Chains A and B, each alone.
Chain A
Amino acid sequence: MDYEAELLPGTLDLLILKAVSIGPLHGYGVLLRIGQISGRALLIEQGALYPALFRLVRQGLLKTEWGKSENNRRAKFYELTSKGRKRLREETDGWNRLVAAIASALAARPQEA
């Protein structure tokens, strides 16, 4: 069954940082990259991406530059700042710990509780 999970609150920022970490991307590109790396399992409302991008720029995690897209359209490209890279690392670690903790909690058998 094709399963599309709703994003947990707060995870969109993490996904954007991850998507951009591979190289500068415009907004639409971020969307495509997230689709690609998540195996199309995550559903993002397209427009909702932009407020998140603006917020990350304000926080100094992303920087922007206008450029040309692969099919020659003018687009705004987002790139990770060093602060953004650091944040990505922290968030990834945090996320992994959380997942591990929840996974172990879910794997627990009744006797052990």
Chain B
Amino acid sequence: MIPYFRSLAARFVYRRQTERELEEELRSHIELRADGLERSGFTRAEAERRARVEFGGEARFKEECRDAIAGNFLDILMQDLRFSLRALAKQPVFTVVAIVTLAIGIGMTTAMLSIVHDVLVRPLPYTNSGRLYAAYTGSESTGQTRIAASGPEYLDYRDQNKSFVRIAEYLPRFTFTWTGEGEPKLVTCTAGSEDFFAALGVRPYLGRLYEPREFSYLKDDTMVVSYRFWKTKLGGDPHVIGRTIRLQDESVAIIGVLPPMSDLFPDTDVWPKLTTRPSWPFMQWRANKFLRVVGELRPGITPRMAEEDLTAILRRAPDEPRDVRVQLVPLKEDLVGNLRAPLIATLGAAALILVVASINVAALLLARAVKRQPEMALRLSLGAGLGRIARQLITEATVLNGAGCALGLLLAWSALRLVAQLPNLSLPRLDEVHLNTPALAVTILIASATTVLFGWLPAIGFSRLHLSSALRSRGTETGARRKLSLPALVVAEIACSVVLTISVGLLVHSFWRVMHVDPGFQARSLFRAYLRSDSPPNDPEGLRVYNEKAVPFWQNLLTETASLPDVRSTAISDWKPGRDSEIATLLLEGRPYDEAHLPTIEGTWVSADFFRTVGAQLVTGRSFTERDNADAPSVVIINTQAARQFWPGQNPIGKRIGVNYTGPGRRTSGATPRLREIVGVVGTIRHGPLDAPTAPAVYMPYLQDETSHDMSAMNLLVRTEGNAVGLAQNLRKQIHALRPDEPVEQIQSVEELEAQSIVPRRYTLLLLATFAVVDLVLAAVGVYGVISYVTAQRTREFGVRIALGATRGRVVSEVLRGGVRLTVIGSAIGLVGAFIVTRSLSALLFEISPLDPLSYSVAVALLALISVCACLVPAWRASRVDPIIAIQSE
């Protein structure tokens, strides 16, 4: 070992001395030999000359001595590196295109893999994450799935199940009013039952969590808050434990701060206890299914077994459809499941980009290698070994690859930065997305393997290079292998691009459809403010007192706000534009009541001017008036979809129905609902996101809710003339004049709410469209590169043909024909791929088939156009060949 290091030192540390000694040693050899020759009778001069001749090629042996010193490979590496950099710098276009292509492939794929991993794949950060399941019910006969649970249902599960270590219920995202510190504010609450935090295995960040006995208290006097709320609203005060705040007009002491939980309703501010308290009587109604259930499975119990267990419990309950079933969903899927389709689609697109980028780089490297045949032949003839040339090529590819990887890493990193900051993109867990090292490793490995493989591949060809012909012919000779592989790469590239372009075409077409969908109302110049107040009490006397205050408030609010400047009309409704209304079951008078097949309908409470304010179309019958109040006969208006579905071919006016809520927070006691008469039919309004399917809907006067529950949370809808200046301020003033402690959140334009409702689609489209554009550019570069190369190879042939009288037009069309043939083959393969791939996109499509002919033909036409354009330049160049120069140059 020591001699080796001494030898290394000789090379690197004592370089000059080593060189001098080598020189001296060889000189001394020659002189010693000359001495010997002199002794046998030669003159000194003759002796030295002979000694030198006998010694042989001094320069070569010196070189071999240097090679024999340790660390030689490093020297060669440095040489290769220097040479590579020079070679790459000599062809800046090739180099830049190859590096950027690699970087795009690596960067985009890594970024998407990181996002998909962190959002979809990464386990929940809770102790028991693998065994946490959400429980829903569904029944085939009613066609309903993912139905939540009611309070009594949960208690049955909790007390009778044999499958769970712990089972908890929780209610995400309701609001409390926070007063006493400046303007009244709304805070977002998620409430969990006793075992909730224990089932998840969450520990407090500060202070403590609730103790079991606290769940039997009737009021909230302690509160656990979220990390975010503590940081942003309470200033991250380390001594926050024990501080009291006023929530819902009660003083509560903060006892604990939770750790950051980006997975679990990250917008939650406070975490109250979910208990059966007097103010929450709806917790006791069996038909009131709005609670979510999560449980930690016992070891050894499979989800199937637990489903059987809970189903048996549920079927013992009254009023359940006979085929009701409990379905367990892994909690993670429950929380991020709806993101699967767009994320997987985007990941697929990113992977395609990586493939296309790799193919591009491969094609570029091959074309370049052939162009360098004369250079390689020269080096071979000057004594460079094949191994040395292969090493040189690999070094070049590695340098290229290294630069591409570095740039790709930068790209991935900045892409992740950008995604985390996208407005309105409320992906759960996104704030915790990190560059995923394994993902980076995989993409870099794929890209590097391609680059180095295709960088090295030509070396095999060179080994069979005939020196004389290669030198003479200026690299017009191509091995059969390369003649085949280059076009094959183009075909593969076009096929991948066709798949991606068609997929994106489908999304663009879907988006166009969504943008042109008729929402059934006029979103422009419509504004919305969210107003909430206390829930009404349950007892008749309390309800009467409540109504005495609440009814005049809403009535006054409507008249006062309607007379504000620039306001045309106002209405209130419990519907928030962009959100589905609550689901109710429907009772049709005069039809058999089949509890297993209750039809469902969206129910919305509205004020008299609702339809005029939102701009909906009354189809038949009458609209609501001020006279449809609590004392008048109960009336409803249905939408056309409900009319078609429940009274096909009949006039629904005059028919009577009962409406029974099942949705969150609603009060339905399960008793037979009162019957309401249909007085009108209105055009179908899209309640939810523009791209969501519509449902049958029923509208009811808000004063005819016998529980007054609707009045605890309302949306004030304001129709203005053009852009009403100062509207927000005027509204706020008006509302506070009527109710000083009403928290008025920002006043939103409904147009914006509608736009927000399709944000996920917009971003998916944006992302995929970016990928498609990048892909098309890559494809264009690839086709251009290969066709130019192949055409350049045939310069001499074209020259001869032009000399023999071929027209230039003929030459152009011949080159184009070559390109078109590859495009047609590639497109055909791509179409087959698209047939297979686009099926998995159906969840992202809107009112079009995955085989939508328009998207297919536009995508293929676009790609054909691009590839023909990419062929035009080389074709034109071929036609300008000067026959004399082309032939002579051989």
Contact check, B68 vs A60: say whether CB atoms are below 8 A apart. no
A55 located at the interface, meaning its Cβ lies under 8 Å from any Cβ of chain B in the complex: yes
B57 located at the interface, meaning its Cβ lies under 8 Å from any Cβ of chain A in the complex: yes
A95 located at the interface, meaning its Cβ lies under 8 Å from any Cβ of chain B in the complex: no
Which among B21, B33, B60, B61 has the greatest number of chain A C-beta atoms within 10 A? B61
CB contact under 8 A between A50 and B61, given known A58-B70, A60-B2: yes
- List A contacts of B548 (CB < 8 A): none
Contact check, B68 vs A54: say whether CB atoms are below 8 A apart. yes
Binary CB contact string for chain B from 469 to 483 against chain A (1 if under 8 A, 0 otherwise): 000000000000000
CB contact under 8 A between A55 and B68, given known A28-B33, A48-B56, A75-B32: yes
Residue of B nearest to A55 (CB): B68
Q: Which of B1-51 contact A (CB under 8 A)?
A: 1-4, 7, 21, 24-26, 28-29, 31-33, 35
Residue of A nearest to B58 (CB): A47
- List A contacts of B29 (CB < 8 A): 26-28, 46, 50, 75
Contact check, A58 vs B4: say whether CB atoms are below 8 A apart. yes
Label chain A's interface by main secondary structure.
helix
- B391 CB, nearest partner CB in chain A, Å: 20
CB contact under 8 A between A51 and B3, given known A28-B32, A46-B33, A71-B35: no
A27 to B51, CA, bound (A): 14
- List B contacts of A63 (CB < 8 A): 3
Q: Which of B62-81 contact A (CB under 8 A)?
A: 64-65, 67-70
Contact check, A60 vs B31: say whether CB atoms are below 8 A apart. no
A96 located at the interface, meaning its Cβ lies under 8 Å from any Cβ of chain B in the complex: no
A26 to B29, CA, bound (A): 8
A46 to B30, CA, bound (A): 9
Contact check, A47 vs B57: say whether CB atoms are below 8 A apart. yes
Partner of A73, one of B1, B31, B60, B70: B31
Contact check, B68 vs A47: say whether CB atoms are below 8 A apart. no
CB contact under 8 A between A51 and B21, given known A28-B29, A74-B28, A76-B28: no
Q: Which of A40-69 contact B (CB under 8 A)?
A: 45-48, 50-52, 54-55, 57-60, 63, 69
- List B contacts of A74 (CB < 8 A): 24, 28
Residue of B nearest to A83 (CB): B3
- B354 CB, nearest partner CB in chain A, Å: 45
Contact check, B55 vs A47: say whether CB atoms are below 8 A apart. yes
CB contact under 8 A between A45 and B25, given known A54-B65, A58-B70, A73-B32: no
A3 to B144, CA, bound (A): 102
Interface residues on A, range: 20 to 34
B890 located at the interface, meaning its Cβ lies under 8 Å from any Cβ of chain A in the complex: no
B594 located at the interface, meaning its Cβ lies under 8 Å from any Cβ of chain A in the complex: no
Contact check, B58 vs A73: say whether CB atoms are below 8 A apart. no
Residue of B nearest to A54 (CB): B68
Residue of A nearest to B1 (CB): A60
- B694 CB, nearest partner CB in chain A, Å: 83
- List A contacts of B69 (CB < 8 A): 54, 58
- List B contacts of A60 (CB < 8 A): 1-4
A73 to B35, CA, bound (A): 10
- A8 CB, nearest partner CB in chain B, Å: 19
A9 to B60, CA, bound (A): 19
- A10 CB, nearest partner CB in chain B, Å: 15
B539 located at the interface, meaning its Cβ lies under 8 Å from any Cβ of chain A in the complex: no
- List A contacts of B67 (CB < 8 A): 51
Residue of A nearest to B66 (CB): A54
- List A contacts of B21 (CB < 8 A): 76
- List B contacts of A26 (CB < 8 A): 28-29, 32
Q: Which of A67-94 contact B (CB under 8 A)?
A: 69, 71, 73-76
Which among B2, B24, B25, B61 has the greatest number of chain A C-beta atoms within 10 A? B25
- B130 CB, nearest partner CB in chain A, Å: 57
Contact check, B28 vs A73: say whether CB atoms are below 8 A apart. yes
Label chain B's interface by main secondary structure.
helix
- List B contacts of A52 (CB < 8 A): 68
Contact check, A50 vs B25: say whether CB atoms are below 8 A apart. yes
Partner of B54, one of A27, A46, A73: A46
Contact check, A47 vs B61: say whether CB atoms are below 8 A apart. yes
Contact check, A51 vs B61: say whether CB atoms are below 8 A apart. yes
- B118 CB, nearest partner CB in chain A, Å: 52
A1 to B60, CA, bound (A): 33
- A71 CB, nearest partner CB in chain B, Å: 6
A26 to B21, CA, bound (A): 13
- List B contacts of A50 (CB < 8 A): 25-26, 29, 61, 64-65
A69 to B60, CA, bound (A): 26
A21 to B24, CA, bound (A): 24
Contact check, A69 vs B32: say whether CB atoms are below 8 A apart. yes
Contact check, B4 vs A47: say whether CB atoms are below 8 A apart. no
Residue of B nearest to A29 (CB): B32
- List A contacts of B55 (CB < 8 A): 46-47
Partner of A45, one of B24, B32, B56, B68: B56
A73 to B69, CA, bound (A): 25
A29 to B31, CA, bound (A): 12
- List A contacts of B54 (CB < 8 A): 46
Which among A27, A52, A54 has the greatest number of chain B C-beta atoms within 10 A? A54
- List B contacts of A55 (CB < 8 A): 68
- A113 CB, nearest partner CB in chain B, Å: 39
Partner of B3, one of A46, A58, A73, A75: A58
- List B contacts of A29 (CB < 8 A): 32
- List A contacts of B1 (CB < 8 A): 60
A44 to B3, CA, bound (A): 26
- B40 CB, nearest partner CB in chain A, Å: 13
- A44 CB, nearest partner CB in chain B, Å: 10
Binary CB contact string for chain B from 124 to 160 against chain A (1 if under 8 A, 0 otherwise): 0000000000000000000000000000000000000
A103 to B2, CA, bound (A): 40
A57 to B61, CA, bound (A): 16
A51 to B61, CA, bound (A): 7
- B71 CB, nearest partner CB in chain A, Å: 10
A58 to B67, CA, bound (A): 11
- List B contacts of A76 (CB < 8 A): 21, 24-25, 28
- A29 CB, nearest partner CB in chain B, Å: 8
- List A contacts of B24 (CB < 8 A): 74, 76
Contact check, B25 vs A51: say whether CB atoms are below 8 A apart. no
A109 to B81, CA, bound (A): 59
Which among B3, B7, B57 has the greatest number of chain A C-beta atoms within 10 A? B3
Contact check, B64 vs A51: say whether CB atoms are below 8 A apart. yes
CB contact under 8 A between A27 and B3, given known A46-B55, A50-B61, A73-B31: no
- List A contacts of B26 (CB < 8 A): 47, 50
Contact check, B56 vs A46: say whether CB atoms are below 8 A apart. yes
Residue of B nearest to A61 (CB): B3
A60 to B58, CA, bound (A): 25
A48 to B64, CA, bound (A): 9
A74 to B123, CA, bound (A): 75
- List A contacts of B7 (CB < 8 A): 57-58
- B26 CB, nearest partner CB in chain A, Å: 7
Partner of A51, one of B32, B33, B58, B65: B65
Residue of B nearest to A46 (CB): B55
Contact check, B68 vs A51: say whether CB atoms are below 8 A apart. yes
- A45 CB, nearest partner CB in chain B, Å: 5
Which among A27, A58, A69, A75 has the greatest number of chain B C-beta atoms within 10 A? A58
Sort A-B residue pairs by CB-CB distance and give the 8 closest, nearest first.
Answer: A60-B3, A54-B68, A47-B61, A51-B64, A47-B56, A28-B32, A58-B7, A55-B68
15 more A-B residue pairs beyond the given contacts A51-B61, A60-B3, with a C-beta to C-beta distance below 8 A: A26-B29, A26-B32, A28-B33, A45-B56, A47-B26, A47-B56, A48-B61, A50-B29, A50-B64, A51-B64, A54-B68, A57-B3, A58-B69, A69-B32, A76-B24
Q: What are 9 sample pairs from A and B whose C-beta atoms fall under 8 A apart?
A: A27-B28, A27-B29, A46-B55, A50-B29, A51-B67, A58-B3, A60-B1, A60-B4, A74-B28
Binding site for B on A (CB under 8 A): 26-29, 45-48, 50-52, 54-55, 57-60, 63, 69, 71, 73-76
